[in-house]
Structure 1
Amino acid sequence: MNAQDLKNSILHLAIQGKLVEQREEEGTAKELLEKIEAEKKQLIKEGKIKKQKALPAIKADEIPFYIPESWEWVRLNDLALFIKAGGDKPRDFTTIKSETHSVPVIANGIQNDGIIGYTKNATVEDSCITVSGRGTIGFSCLRTEPFTPVVRLLVLNISNEIEQKYIQNVLTALLERGVGTSIKQLTVPMLQPKLIPLPPLEEQKRIVAKIEELMPYVVKYEKAYFEVEELNKKFPYDMQKSILQYAIQGKLVEQREEDGTGEDFYRQIQDVMKKQIQEGKVKKPKKLPEITDKDIPFDIPENWKWVRLGEIGFTNIGLTYKPSDISNNGTIVLRSSNIQNGQLDYNDLVKVSSDIPITKMCQQGDILICARNGSKRLVGKAALMDKDGMSFGAFMAIYRSLCNEYILHIINSAYFRNTMLPETGTTTINQITQETLRHCMIPLPPLAEQKRIVEKIEELLPYTKQLVKYI
């Protein structure tokens, strides 16, 4: 139950006579109606209000719920001295309040309490209830200061024998829920016959007092409910972050002596990279700074090794092409939109017909990374290439190594994002450069343990996605 549902429940308990007890000494609503009728006759006699047209008697099949014996079902028109709609904007209407133009001009809507401007003279002097006939249909408000209503705002002047706040609460309970979804507007003829559950006057006052006592708790509940909702929304993603963080700290699977060490695997990678350089398949990269103890962000198992991405793999930025290079029969050039939810999406493809260097071509198993984007949220999203023969755009990068399945999960971790895309004062960094990518430190486990880590992550992550459905 959200805060609005809680508020509605309180109001509906109130208008059913279940919020406060009934007291015999407070009389009955029937006696109250006799006083209202006498008041109306006197005002008609004095020429202050017009005689109202009689409405049909209330039939049993109209009554929506039971009320206490001391209450009465009445039509809203029975309690009102008048119900009318607002008129056109006054000729002297202005949006600026001043000494001469201080009377609020009220229209439909909740924003700014319905005030759209100001005028010199009020057309409603008495305390009244306003109801929105269009826009936020059914929204009601008790107004105690003189004002001028405009078209489609309905104005109710309720008998002096009635607690106006009670009627306003009744209208909130009966009108605000669903009225706007079934009708395009609310008119005076639609409002006049509305059924109102009427308690004795003193009970009305106690109901209003109880509602006002409870509403601050509804506000507190709303705040707490919102916080819980936000936690619920974040929980699956926080769980995913925790799984990845545990993985890169060596806490997700056990270490096994027979797996060897990260140092052993690092040397194997170095041998492969040197061979690729010697064969001219890749250029020799610049030497990277050694990792010192002060650089290390967290502890890892003894058989792991801290390395830089540039030490265990190669990276490159993508292809720059002109609009004139685009062709229906060219080579596919992957862009940021081709990575969706950690997977490659081939629905929105661009092809170019120009000659593409081998360094700008992807290989199956490469990690494709969005390296630059106007939205920081999209920078760093990545996916594993599942095909050969495609290129990638200038705002993209690829990373190629012998352990990309493991490294992809590091790239998806909060550690990588916080390292690569920090907030620098008031500046938001919206790109991952080649240098920052090569310098990025990662914990390197033995290859066999990497495989177990990847298996465990892929076993657990689907459960976090299922949580999103249920929260």
Structure 2
Amino acid sequence: MRVAADASGSVDQPWTLPESWTWVALRDVGSWTSGGTPKSTEPGYYNGPISWFRITDLNEGRLRRSEKSLTIRGLQASSAKLIEAPFLMFAMYGASIGKMAISEIDASTNQAIACCSPSEAANIDFLFLALQRSKKSIVALGQGGAQPNISQRILLDCRIPLPPLSEQRRIVERIESLFAEIAEGEAALEDARKGLETFCRALLKAAATGELTRDWRENNQPKETGHDLLARIKAERDATPKSGRGKRAAASAPLDTSDLSELPEGWAWARISDVGVVQLGRQRSPQHHQGENMHRYLRVANVFEDRIELGDVKEMNFTPPELKTFELRRNDILLNEGQTPDLLGRPAMWRSDERGMCFQNTLLRFRATEPMEPEFCFLVFRHYLHAKRFKQESQITTNIAHLSSGRFSVIEFPVPPIDEQREIVRRALTALDSTVDTKLVFEQQKADATRLRQAILKSAFEGTLVPQEPTDEPASSFLSRLKAQESANPKQMKRRKKV
């Protein structure tokens, strides 16, 4: 098998190379082997002095240690070999097919890794970069379904462009220099991204605590305080018959605010259920997988912070009464009920007028009670996510944290006057909208860095990254001379060490 040609070349020569370069199969630029695994049931095979690499160790860089090791007895009882450093490793099986690393220590590997000790005609770093450049084409040759694999025979038949040895070293040096510059740019970009995230968290906190509108309060006297607003909501609720299964405020003792932070003048503490209705989603069941009233529904996999992904939405049967309970309306807020602890309560707002969209019981729905501003509630929930407030109320089972509707409903909630809520929303959304464009720039620059690396590799292996030197011995001549030497002395190449 060969790497596929582009539009300008053939299978044997995918593109035109400089005169001193040549196309070679991987088998012609090194000594290849693979490893083995001793029987795990036998005692005395592991935790010895011999480093033993597995696919999970491969890090796309250089390795000086392994997580596992073999004894001499374990090495001799398997097909593993002790290979002299440095040598290149290429994963041939599973989801990690194509992962690579260079071992800088004498070591052995398991059978899932192809190992290459380069010949004198190939610089090991150049060979590593050449395989990176061709990895996508090589991996495409893999066979199998859930666990794809590529045989060593197929791998060794793949062809790469080979320049003179001295030019290989110049190419490696130039690529490493350019990649280092890109890495510095990416590090600066990551610092800027973290700074932006810090700004967003601080903004959400300022919105939820009243710091964002400190100056606004100095010049605006509210017609109705937070306490007045809560009293009005309660009076309207008491006058309205309760319907559905959503949780409202418990008619128990007032909220204990002794341990809560002091709020700005005119604000009031309440429970979440005092300002909205909380509803747990519909439980999945085989009996609901088909029926006359199939409707789409959202689950945890669809709900991210301030974002709902609709690329993979499933359906369930919802009877008309169930649809009335679980159907989403514009400005409903969905929060993850079950998630890893730090992501528990991750909220997103449903901003569509689409009818018939429901939600599963891995999500909580909060529907703000008028005249509460839903966008303000959403800002508070986003702040609680980052402040780990939801995590404090979680119950953890099998590494998954859960936030029951009951525990969520009684969490404290700050209530400003309605006019101030609207001002907070206006200021916060204006600032957050400006960060969206910045985040898009970060993502674009991150993608540009990846494309730039690929462009550098493309230029390197087409022979245009560094100039050719007329005094360099052509690669084909060097290979011919090396083969003649090996024929005269077949034991010249080092590949395996004696134990």
Match of 2:194 in 1: 234
Amino acid at match of 2:391: L
What is the Cα deviation at residue 246 of structure 1?
A: 0.8
RMSD of aligned C-alpha atoms?
5.7
Of 195, 200, 204 in structure 1, the residue corresponding to residue 164 of structure 2 is: 195
Of 246, 259, 271 in structure 1, the residue corresponding to residue 206 of structure 2 is: 246
1:379-399 Cα shifts (integer Å, max 9, x gaps) = 442324644666544343343
Specify which structure has the bigger relative contact order, considering alpha-carbon pairs within 8 angstroms and separated by 6 or more residues. 2
* Matches of 2:52 and 2:360, distance apart in 1: 57
Amino acid at match of 2:337: R
What is the Cα deviation at residue 331 of structure 1?
A: 6.2
* Matches of 1:115 and 1:352, distance apart in 2: 54
Match of 2:143 in 1: none
User: Given the alignment of the two structures, is residue 397 of structure 1 paired with residue 343 of structure 2, yes or no?
Assistant: no
Match of 1:267 in 2: 231
Alignment check: 8 A CA contact 2:272 2:408 kept: yes
Matches within 5 A, 1:35-434: 62=20, 85=31, 118-119=75-76, 130=87, 153-155=115-117, 171-182=123-134, 195-197=164-166, 231-253=191-213, 254-255=216-217, 256-260=219-223, 261-277=225-241, 285-297=249-261, 299-320=262-283, 322-327=285-290, 329-330=292-293, 332=295, 334-336=297-299, 339=303, 342-343=306-307, 348-356=313-321, 360-362=325-327, 364-365=329-330, 367-370=332-335, 372-373=337-338, 375-376=340-341, 377=343, 379-384=345-350, 386-387=352-353, 391-395=358-362, 396-402=364-370, 403=372, 404-414=374-384, 418-422=388-392, 430-434=401-405
Amino acid at match of 1:252: L
User: What is the TM-score with the length of structure 2 in the denominator?
Assistant: 0.54
Matches within 5 A, 1:427-446: 430-446=401-417
The share of aligned pairs that are identical, in percent, is 13
* Matches of 2:245 and 2:89, distance apart in 1: 73
What is the Cα deviation at residue 446 of structure 1?
A: 1.1
- Find the residue that maps to 1:382 and give its secondary structure: strand
* Matches of 1:392 and 1:327, distance apart in 2: 16
- Find the residue that maps to 1:350 and give its secondary structure: strand
Match of 1:465 in 2: 436
User: What is the TM-score with the length of structure 1 in the denominator?
Assistant: 0.56
Alignment check: 8 A CA contact 2:229 2:418 kept: yes
1:176-221 Cα shifts (integer Å, max 9, x gaps) = 3234423868979x99x863449xxxxxxxxxxxx9xxx9xx99xx
User: What stretches of structure 2 of length at least 5 have no aligned partner?
Assistant: 1-17, 22-28, 93-97, 139-153, 168-172, 443-499
1:147-185 Cα shifts (integer Å, max 9, x gaps) = 99x997555798xxxxxxxx9xx9245333234423868
* Matches of 1:418 and 1:119, distance apart in 2: 53
Q: 1:445 and 1:416, CA in 2 relative to 1: closer, same or farther beyond 3 A?
A: farther
Q: 1:434 and 1:153, CA in 2 relative to 1: closer, same or farther beyond 3 A?
A: closer
Q: 1:264 and 1:429, CA in 2 relative to 1: closer, same or farther beyond 3 A?
A: farther
Q: 1:180 and 1:98, CA in 2 relative to 1: closer, same or farther beyond 3 A?
A: same
* Matches of 1:266 and 1:358, distance apart in 2: 30
Amino acid at match of 1:401: T
Instruction: Give the aligned length.
Output: 364
* Matches of 1:323 and 1:424, distance apart in 2: 28
- Find the residue that maps to 2:365 and give its secondary structure: strand
What is the Cα deviation at residue 372 of structure 1?
A: 2.5
- Find the residue that maps to 1:412 and give its secondary structure: helix
**Bigger Cα displacement from structure 2, 174-183 vs 302-311:** 174-183
* Matches of 1:369 and 1:345, distance apart in 2: 13
Q: 1:450 and 1:177, CA in 2 relative to 1: closer, same or farther beyond 3 A?
A: same
1:317-365 Cα shifts (integer Å, max 9, x gaps) = 3444643344565163633255455355666252425352687254735
- Find the residue that maps to 2:251 and give its secondary structure: coil
1:251-297 Cα shifts (integer Å, max 9, x gaps) = 22322433332223222222222221489999985324324442313
User: What stretches of structure 1 of length at least 5 have no aligned partner?
Assistant: 1-59, 64-82, 159-166, 199-210
What is the Cα deviation at residue 245 of structure 1?
A: 0.8
Amino acid at match of 2:123: L
Match of 2:463 in 1: none
Alignment check: 8 A CA contact 1:362 1:385 kept: no
Q: 1:343 and 1:272, CA in 2 relative to 1: closer, same or farther beyond 3 A?
A: farther
1:372-417 Cα shifts (integer Å, max 9, x gaps) = 2355536442324644666544343343412123112212223686
- Find the residue that maps to 1:268 and give its secondary structure: helix
* Matches of 1:242 and 1:196, distance apart in 2: 55
Alignment check: 8 A CA contact 1:307 1:442 kept: yes
* Matches of 1:232 and 1:282, distance apart in 2: 42
